[in-house]
């Protein structure tokens, strides 16, 4: 049976949980990470020497990195609707996933860790404001793309592309700061919310 290691309030763990739910997988999960067992414990380091969640153990096959795990699970279970076989379509899905992990996420760190987690190292208001400005810029770019080609990132079909981006969108609406109106992003948020797996692991009250 699939086993997922990681806390449910981690955005990266939630990517794997959402993917597993969309596929309909049976799995077990253990809490590891901030607020739970430390990922620096030897037991965890045997699974992932990089000491971060998520990690999966799929009947003895151990794998780290949330996007890699999601792609592996979709491919293993033949979910070409989530992760297409066509190399051009697959590359587009992967491009959105990479963007969701890099440029889109770049501005989130300071506002989230400073305003929500309230870590002392992230209480510099200039740092928070700079993060908000960059996050807003990326979200405006997303809004433009969705306005031209929604309702999902790949058009009419929900894919793995929507999982990392959809979780950032949930965080966007959950972290309290003044935001511009983004009509296409708001419509996307509501469209994703029609999916039970998103309501369970995305729009569930956790930023």
Instruction: Evaluate whether residue 54 is within a structural domain.
Output: yes
Percent of the chain with pLDDT over 90: 100
For residue 68, is it within any domain? yes
Give the pLDDT of residue 166: 98
Shared domain check, 49 and 8? yes
- 112 lies in the same domain as 40: no
Q: Does an H or E element contain 68, and which? A: helix 66-76
Answer yes or no: are the C-beta atoms of 46 and 5 closer than 8 Å: no
173 plus 192 within the same structural domain: yes
One domain, residues 8 and 28 = yes
Find the mean pLDDT for residues 35-44: 97
For residues 144 and 157, the answer to whether their CB atoms sit within 8 Å is: no
Which of 57, 76, 95 corresponds to the end of one domain? Answer: 76
Structural domain of 92: 87-199
Same domain, 192 and 104: yes
For the sheet with 2-5, list strands across it. Answer: 27-30, 2-5, 55-58, 61-64
Task: State pLDDT tens for residues 50-77.
Answer: 999 999 999 999 999 999 999 999 999 9
The total number of structural domains in the chain stands at 2
CATH number at residue 7: 3.40.30.10
- The verdict on residue 120 lying in a domain is yes
Q: What is the CATH number of the domain that holds 163?
A: 1.20.1050.10
Tell me whether residue 156 is in a domain. yes
Residue 206 lies in a domain: no
Tell me: the pLDDT tens digits for 103-145? 999 999 999 999 999 999 999 999 999 999 999 999 999 999 9
Q: Give this prediction's pTM.
A: 0.97
Q: Are residues 116 and 63 in the same domain?
A: no
Phi, psi of 4, rounded to the nearest 5 degrees:
-115, 130
């Amino acid at each position: 049976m699939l086993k997922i290691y990681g806390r449910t309030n981690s955005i990266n763990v939630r990517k794997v949980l959402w993917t597993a739910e969309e596929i309909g997988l049976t799995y077990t999960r253990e809490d590891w990470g901030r607020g739970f067992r430390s990922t620096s414990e030897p037991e965890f380091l045997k699974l992932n020497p990089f000491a971060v969640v998520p990690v999966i153990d799929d009947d003895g096959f151990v794998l780290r990195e949330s996007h890699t795990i999601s792609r592996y699970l979709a491919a293993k279970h033949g979910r070409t609707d989530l992760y297409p076989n066509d190399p051009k379509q697959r590359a587009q899905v992967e491009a959105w996933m990479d963007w969701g992990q890099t440029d889109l996420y770049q501005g989130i760190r300071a506002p989230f860790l400073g305003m929500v987690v309230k870590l002392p190292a992230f209480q510099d208001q200039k740092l928070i404001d700079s993060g908000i400005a960059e996050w807003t810029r990326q979200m405006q770019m997303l809004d433009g793309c969705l306005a031209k080609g929604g309702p999902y990132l790949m058009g009419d079909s929900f894919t793995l592309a929507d999982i990392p981006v959809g979780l950032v969108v949930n965080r966007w609406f959950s972290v309290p700061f003044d935001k511009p109106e983004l009509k296409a992003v708001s419509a996307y948020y509501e469209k994703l919310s029609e999916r039970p797996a998103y309501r369970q692991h995305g729009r569930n009250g956790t930023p």
